[in-house]
A and B are shown apart, each in its own frame.
Chain A
Amino acid sequence: MVSKNSPGPIHSPHTGDFMRMLSDAGVQLPFAQGSPSPAQRPSAEAPSEMPQAHGTTVIAVKYHGGVLNVGDRRATSAMAIMYDRADKVLALDDHTLIAIAGSYATAMQVVRYLRHSFRYYARTQLQEMSLDGKVNEVARAIAGNLAAAMQGVGGFLPVLSAWDSESGEGRIFFYDAMGARFESAEYGAAGSGSERIRGAFDYIIRTKRPFTKMTLEEALTECLVLLDIASDLDAATGGGYKVAPVARAVTADGILDIPEPRIRHMIREMGLVNGHAV
């Protein structure tokens, strides 16, 4: 790549595409394998299930002023709990958060890739990548991972939260295994535990009030309860009694890290210390 951009004859226009720069430089992306080969594709005779992300619970809700992400911290491999301090809510830049579910290894590679990709674009092109561009870039990474995911290894599905500075509001996007993107009106969740609590989001919205009307504190309280329920019903979701869940928000002013002592304090106040609301 260096020689390509070195002084000399005019080279092709610079688009700020990080993936292209890497492939020109001969750097292999562990997750960008293209479409599945015919052998990997499920046939009509033996339909295989679409890969599904498992083993976690991450939640994203729009509150008044931004988008809050909360995630448990358990990482599992089959029946074993491998790690109880996994950070599944990560900042991609000052206006974008990603909450990851599924293969931790792939997800961390993809997060590293996306962080570089967004910044590479901004630094070379001297303007931030559009939100639409970022949402598509995530889709590209998921689609590139499809071949591996179809074989049952390395599947992952993220929830993307962003502050849209054009419209002045928080936005939430989620994906399917093929890389299709969907936008969510109020909340998003991913991981095995998220299935167990899906209906509870609507229950809160209908019986209390929409998350979008809540303060950060109120939204965080609801999310901690939801996560506690998920950890009660899903073996792969860690509770908050040992290691506090991670919580981050994306706002107009950037990323807000909610400090662990504050979350721990809230969990104690709410009586969730033993994994059960009392």
Chain B
Amino acid sequence: MLYSPYDWNESLQHRSEYVDLRLRSGSPVAGVSYDEGVLLLTIRGSQRKIFEVYDRLMFSALGNQADLESVRIAAIDVAHQEGFSRSPDDVTIQRIVGFAISPLVKRAFADAFSTPLVIRALFAEVGRHPDRDAFFTLNYDGEFAALTGSAAVAGTLAAEQAMMEHLQWDANARPSLHGAIRAALWAWAAGRLMASEPERDAPPSGSDLEAVLSRELKAGALEAAVLERNTSRESKFRLLSSAELDPVVAQLL
């Protein structure tokens, strides 16, 4: 079979379209650095969506469940291997996402004879100080970006931008956990709405978002997890209980 540069280009385009189409209906994930740690929040179906990777590292994503698992396990493997043979302090978001996981994802995307990974992932790292909290987004083609303060992944680029508008704080100001959950919920609703209505050009109003939230909270389950900066527990990662989440939701709706 003749394989021309044109075919190659077209193949990549087809793969992008294939993945983009499937990601569009995925549930967004919002990440916020708050005074006592970092938060990831989403509304999910039946499967858990936010996972601990290592002592200071957690992960969430939208996409195909099996692809999420592949990336999750690969990240956990690399982190534990490195943390054991060197030190837990050497397991950083930069090294795990940038050097270990991203090249793998890129390779899978470029391999024309396999199905591409359907995934858009958000990694979060808690620092010893809020300034050192970090987020990395990782796209299905291996492209990654580093963010501080807050981050979002959603079905489309416009949806992610809409989410980020709800996740802005003054430089050096950090919200409380309560404030972080609140903002993340609004951002989630904005991301969901924008991804499901690609033709929409007006930003969603408050009542639009309320309608999305109350509908989706009935259909799915709210899931939020934190990495706590200063905890006496051995594990910094913790899924938030409904006792912690319900009051915030009750205030919003």
Contacts and interface: CB of A to CB of B under 8 A. Distances in A.
Interface of A: 1-3, 5-8, 14, 18, 21-22, 25, 27, 91, 93-94, 112-113, 116, 119-120, 123-124, 126, 254-255, 257
A22 B81 contact: yes
Interface of B: 48, 51-54, 67, 70, 73-74, 76-78, 80-81, 83-85, 100, 104-105, 107-108, 114, 117, 232-235
9 contacts: A2-B78, A3-B104, A5-B74, A8-B114, A21-B81, A112-B84, A113-B84, A120-B80, A257-B232
By secondary structure, the B interface counts as helix
B101 to A, nearest CB: 8
A1 B80 CA distance: 11
Given A18-B84, A119-B235, A255-B234, 11 more contacts: A1-B78, A3-B104, A6-B70, A6-B74, A7-B114, A7-B117, A8-B108, A21-B81, A27-B81, A27-B85, A123-B80
B81 A25 contact: yes
B52 A123 contact: yes
Contact of A123 (B53, B104, B114): B53
Given A6-B104, A8-B114, A123-B51, A254 B70 contact: no
Given A94-B233, A116-B83, A116-B84, A7 B70 contact: yes
Given A1-B77, A25-B81, A126 B53 contact: no
- Which of B76, B81, B100, B233 has the most chain A CB atoms closer than 10 A to its own CB? B81
Contacts of A27: 81, 84-85
A254 B241 CA distance: 18
Contacts of B117: 7
Contact of B73 (A14, A91, A119, A254): A14
A5 B67 CA distance: 11
Contacts of A91: 234
Contacts of A25: 77, 81
Contacts of A113: 84
A76 to B, nearest CB: 26
A7 B83 contact: no
Contacts of B74: 2, 5-6
A94 B235 contact: yes
Q: Which 10 A-B pairs have CB atoms at the shortest separation, nearest pair first?
A: A7-B108, A94-B234, A116-B84, A5-B74, A6-B104, A120-B80, A1-B77, A5-B73, A7-B70, A123-B52
Contacts of A123: 51-54, 76, 80
Contacts of B105: 7
Contacts of A5: 70, 73-74, 77
B81 A124 contact: no
A120 B76 contact: yes
B213 to A, nearest CB: 27
B81 A254 contact: no
A18 B84 CA distance: 10
A21 B77 contact: yes
- Which of A5, A21, A94 has the most chain B CB atoms closer than 10 A to its own CB? A5
A202 to B, nearest CB: 33
Nearest to A25: B81
Contacts of A22: 81, 84
A39 to B, nearest CB: 30
A93 B70 contact: no
Nearest to A112: B84
A47 to B, nearest CB: 37
A2 B100 CA distance: 8
Contacts of B52: 123
